[in-house]
Amino acid sequence: MELLKRLTQVSAPSGNEEGIRALIADELSAYVDEIKTDALGNLIVRKKGNGKKLMLAAHTDEIGIMATFIEDSGFVRFAGIGGVNVHNAIGARVRFLNGTVGVVYYEEKKSAKDAKISDLYIDIGAENAQAAGALVGIGDAAVFMGGFEQTENAVISKALDDRVGCYVLIQALKAAKGCPNDVYAVFTAQEELGLRGATVSAYGVDPDMGIAIDVTDTGDTPGSELMSVKLGGGAAIKVRDSRLLAHKKVRELLIRLAQEKGIPYQLEVLQRGGTDAGAISLTRSGVPCGVVSIPTRYVHSPSEMASMGDISACIRLLCAVIETRID
Ligand code: CO
Ligand code: ZN
């Protein structure tokens, strides 16, 4: 889990994926045939084979915030980068790319319950606008801080969305024996801003099949919405989310491989949210797509939680996909 820890702790809000890209390229260079970066910041890793083109996608970016305005008092106003939840943000710490740390809080005269992002501010400990301006500029990006912890069965960190997907993809590429397909593993940029990296990289790769690896919600916490996915229940094979109806061919391939290899799995219907597979599926004249999801609690909070058993099930399933000739 040392590699997963390192992946989660890199700061890479959407559009600032350089650091995480370098770490992944370094980790995979001995195992693959080609590594390149495209104009939007997708890291495209190719493992050559003489079969069909299989695109595997995990996003490298994480949600964050961007400074929009500095008050005379030195407090910093901000906008979300991706789906920032107001309640998760209050009391959280953020770290700007230059290292400046701040606390997010709300205007106490208003109620925290009704607060919008525009009612929040970041306190970087500066006493006035000039001091603040020396530390943070308009347009500067920051990520939420959330250290990596391990319990007996689970890991907790910021940015498991989607560094755990990157981890699964890296480990599956390393473990795969043989490569009957022409594999393009794309570590995508700007997913949290609307699947932008996947949109352009899928156009470039022009794959015959696409599989995204990303986190999904669970329905197993007190008072959570009804959903059949649970932590520890195995790799989640997506049936549907807001951006994708998983292609039957891909869904059935994933289920068959899980059954053949004895890998625990569960079926996933996600009511809100999407993944890179949504964008890949609508590329050119359409691409059959599916998703291997890592069940994750508290997605888009600084303390996301996933099960080590589920992570290993996802690695084994993805490895089986890489080793199987697709048609
Ligand atoms: Co996300
Ligand atoms: Zn994600």
CB-facing half-sphere around the CA of 23: CA atoms within 13 A: 20
Kindly state the helix (H) or strand (E) to which residue 57 belongs, with its residue range: strand 53-59
Q: Does pLDDT of 10 surpass 90?
A: yes
Give every CB contact of residue 179 below 8 A, 6+ residues apart in sequence: 47, 48, 49, 322, 323
State the pLDDT at residue 71: 98
Helix (H/G/I), strand (E/B), else coil: 31: coil
Enumerate the active-site residues: 191
Mean pLDDT of the chain: 98
pLDDT in tens, 116-155: 999 999 999 999 999 999 999 999 999 999 999 999 999 9
pLDDT in tens, 265-300: 999 999 999 999 999 999 999 999 999 999 999 999
Q: Does pLDDT of 14 surpass 90?
A: yes
pLDDT in tens, 180-193: 999 999 999 999 99
Average pLDDT over residues 253-260: 98
Q: Does pLDDT of 82 surpass 90?
A: yes
The distance in angstroms from the start CA to the end CA of the chain is: 34
pLDDT in tens, 40-73: 999 999 999 999 999 999 999 999 999 999 999 9
State the pLDDT at residue 76: 98
Q: Which numbered ligand comes closest to the C-alpha of 58? A: 2
59 alpha carbon to ligand 2 midpoint, in Å? Answer: 7
- Can you tell me the distance from the alpha carbon of 268 to that of 218, in angstroms, rounded to the nearest whole number? 9
CATH for the stretch 2-62+158-323? 3.40.630.10
74 alpha carbon to ligand 2 midpoint, in Å? Answer: 33
**Distance (Å) of CA 318 to CA 39, 68, 213, 236, 311:** 27, 41, 9, 12, 11
Helix (H/G/I), strand (E/B), else coil: 311: helix
Q: Which numbered ligand comes closest to the C-alpha of 166? A: 2
Q: Give percent of the chain with pLDDT exceeding 70.
A: 100
String of DSSP letters for 202-259 = HHHH--SEEEEEEEE--S-STTPPP-S--TTS-EEEEEEETTEE--HHHHHHHHHHHH
Residue 112: pLDDT band by 50, 70, 90 thresholds?
confident
Nearest to 9 by CA among 149, 165, 196: 149
81 alpha carbon to ligand 1 midpoint, in Å? Answer: 10
Q: Note whether 48 and 31 are within 8 A (CB).
A: no
For 84-118, b/e burial (b = at least 16 CB within 10 A) is bebebbeebebbbbeebebebbbeeeeeeeebebe
- Can you tell me the distance from the alpha carbon of 131 to that of 126, in angstroms, rounded to the nearest whole number? 5
Which sequence spans correspond to the domains of the chain? 2-62+158-323, 64-144
Pick the CATH number of 64-144 from 2.40.30.40, 3.40.1190.20, 3.40.50.300, 3.40.50.720: 2.40.30.40
- Do 64-144 and 2-62+158-323 fall under one CATH topology? no
State the pLDDT at residue 283: 98
In this predicted model, which residue has the larger pLDDT, 183 or 113? 183
pTM above 0.95, yes or no: yes
Token readout for 134 is: 């020396």
String of DSSP letters for 260-291 = HHT--EEEEE-SS---HHHHHHTSTT---EEE
Q: Which numbered ligand comes closest to the C-alpha of 83? A: 1
130 alpha carbon to ligand 1 midpoint, in Å? Answer: 34
Q: Note whether 203 and 197 are within 8 A (CB).
A: no
What's the CA angle centered on 81, arms 76 and 84, to 5 degrees?
85
Residue 111: pLDDT band by 50, 70, 90 thresholds?
confident
Average pLDDT over residues 240-263: 98
56 alpha carbon to ligand 2 midpoint, in Å? Answer: 14
